[in-house]
Amino acid sequence: MTHVVTARCLDCRYTDCCAVCPVECFHKIDDPAMLVIDPETCIDCQLCVPECPVHAIYADTEVPAHYAEWTDFNQQLQALGPVFTKKEDALPGALSMEQVHERERTAGWDPIEPAGA
């Protein structure tokens, strides 16, 4: 099993998660502006899950249906950015958890939180 960063990270790029990763599986992507996980490197330690302020990280077996495509996106996008391991400020205009939930409700989805968040 591996973990997947979903669209909740888009244009937010909180980096709390990658600062705790023991195997350096996070990659910093600029287009789209976010972090993704290299599924070949992730050891499923789950340390990153509770660190994400917007709960953007799910186990690959628990990704909500409306974010299912992000499993493949993480694998594809990770090659586009360098490994990233430090905490930085989030991007300007980064969403709060409440704003993420509102965006999901507006899309007609019930917000589903990852296990361990």
Give tens-digit pLDDT for 11-42.
999 999 999 999 999 999 999 999 999 999 99
How many whole angstroms separate alpha carbon 54 and alpha carbon 48? Answer: 12
Q: What is the pLDDT of residue 1?
A: 78
Provide CATH code, domain 3-106. 3.30.70.20
Q: What is the pLDDT of residue 26?
A: 98
- pTM summary value: 0.96
Domain boundaries along the sequence of the chain? 3-106
Residue 57 in contact with residue 49, Cβ under 8 Å?
A: yes
Residues 51, 84, 95, 54, Cα dihedral to 10°: -20
